[in-house]
Chain A
């Protein structure tokens, strides 16, 4: 087990900095579910908090409470974990100014203000690249990005679904049009980013194959949690096939989710 439910390990047990992931309704209806990711952090003896990019211009910094999130500590040592947690706590006080986009080229935190750079139209972050961008801003290279594949067909379908979701939720037309032009760009999935972040810091920058392995384990953890919560919520759901009953390839959530 890579990520844990809060009923098993309360969020308050985080060693300063963790990562979170949860199943969400899929953006692409052909997928069984999507995934959403972010940070879990705690300042000294304070209450744990989530920091995550929920959607277009919707960066959330909120008390950690939603039990649907599974979590794990990151692979960072204590000192660095505390620095990132403190940075997140400060960032939570700054403007909520991060657009959603599938290509983060040229879009990142301002090098000097920690505020989001007014990115080129259409550029922005996903929930997953938010995690990557925060770490990168502070000098951590989480992923060996050049090892990531560029030709996954399901990434393309998810990116098209993002465009439609932005359009449906009234994002500015020039932004949506520009995002549409980025369909086909390299994608860093939430489960891959979360998986990489759980690996020991000494193994960063994580190559794709290593991230994919731990990502597969996280998917299994998420599926178990979904099945458990579904069973608890509706005993009648026993008639519905459990996600694990599906072929593994079909099970794998391919989306960033509807966040």
Chain B
């Protein structure tokens, strides 16, 4: 089960930067999965990956709309300040089960944050190289389920065209292992066309 979610900012000012950067909201596909929302939030606040497990389990127990779920206490008792809460503002069941919540914490996704924050203007080649290196690390660890979820969370609307192409092309060799690869390419195609770019040329060989 996956849910759209929204950070409830009242409990901790430390969440505010997240909201500014990613405008998290119920229609935001970037954080369409609760486990990732929580994990991203925790990691941005400086908590370690181990802090992640209990909060996510807690979230899954409290999945009703309007619920506020604390993500402190069990998992992160030693890392004050108090963290905060998340509030589930909408929920929609999906056919496939969510990935095991313990899957992502071992991955360093700084490169993904950086990519998502880079904006729609021209990306630097250093940005592209960091993204390629990050993708290669995930690939090297053969965490295809996690990579698939990452692809599912990518919003082409927030990326430069060359970063869109980077995500699609670097993962092209394993596309058959990533159910979210083709939908991502379709989203990229739509976004390129929305920007009046030649999607057929840019995606040559991919579709």
Contact = CB atoms under 8 A, between A and B. Distances in A.
Given A77-B201, A83-B162, A111 B174 contact: yes
Nearest to B166: A83
A43 B125 CA distance: 6
B170 A204 contact: no
Contacts of A90: 129, 132-133, 136
A44 B136 contact: no
Given A85-B125, A89-B129, A202 B140 contact: no
A138 interface: yes
Interface residues of B, number: 27
Contacts of A114: 136, 139
B11 to A, nearest CB: 40
B142 A112 contact: yes
Contacts of A89: 125, 129
B204 A79 contact: no
B125 A44 contact: yes
Contacts of B124: 44
A139 interface: yes
A249 to B, nearest CB: 35
A139 B202 contact: no
A201 B139 contact: no
B201 A202 contact: yes
A111 B133 contact: no
A213 interface: no
A44 B124 CA distance: 7
Contact of B165 (A79, A112, A113, A137): A79
**B interface, over-half SS:** helix
Contacts of B133: 90
Nearest to B168: A139
Contacts of B126: 43-44
A226 interface: no
B49 interface: no
Given A43-B125, A83-B128, A113-B140, A140 B173 contact: no
A93 to B, nearest CB: 9
Contact of A83 (B165, B174, B201): B165
Given A86-B132, A114-B136, A204-B204, A138 B170 contact: yes
For A83, A87, A140, the residue with the greatest tally of chain B CB atoms inside 10 Å of its CB is: A83
A68 interface: no
Given A111-B173, A138-B172, A204 B132 contact: no
Contact of B125 (A86, A111, A204): A86
B206 interface: yes
B172 A139 contact: yes
Interface in A36-95: 43-44, 46, 77-80, 82-83, 85-87, 89-90
A112 B204 contact: no
A98 B133 CA distance: 20
Nearest to A204: B204
B44 interface: no
Interface string B130-162: 001100100110100000000000000000011
6 contacts: A82-B125, A87-B132, A90-B136, A109-B173, A112-B174, A138-B170
Given A79-B165, A140-B205, A204-B205, 17 more contacts: A43-B125, A77-B202, A79-B161, A80-B169, A82-B128, A86-B125, A87-B169, A87-B170, A90-B136, A112-B173, A114-B139, A138-B169, A139-B172, A139-B206, A141-B205, A201-B204, A202-B204
Interface of B: 124-126, 128-129, 132-133, 136, 139-140, 142, 161-162, 165-166, 168-170, 172-174, 198, 201-202, 204-206
| CB-based closest 9 A-B pairs | A111-B173, A112-B139, A86-B128, A139-B172, A43-B125, A139-B205, A138-B169, A79-B162, A44-B125
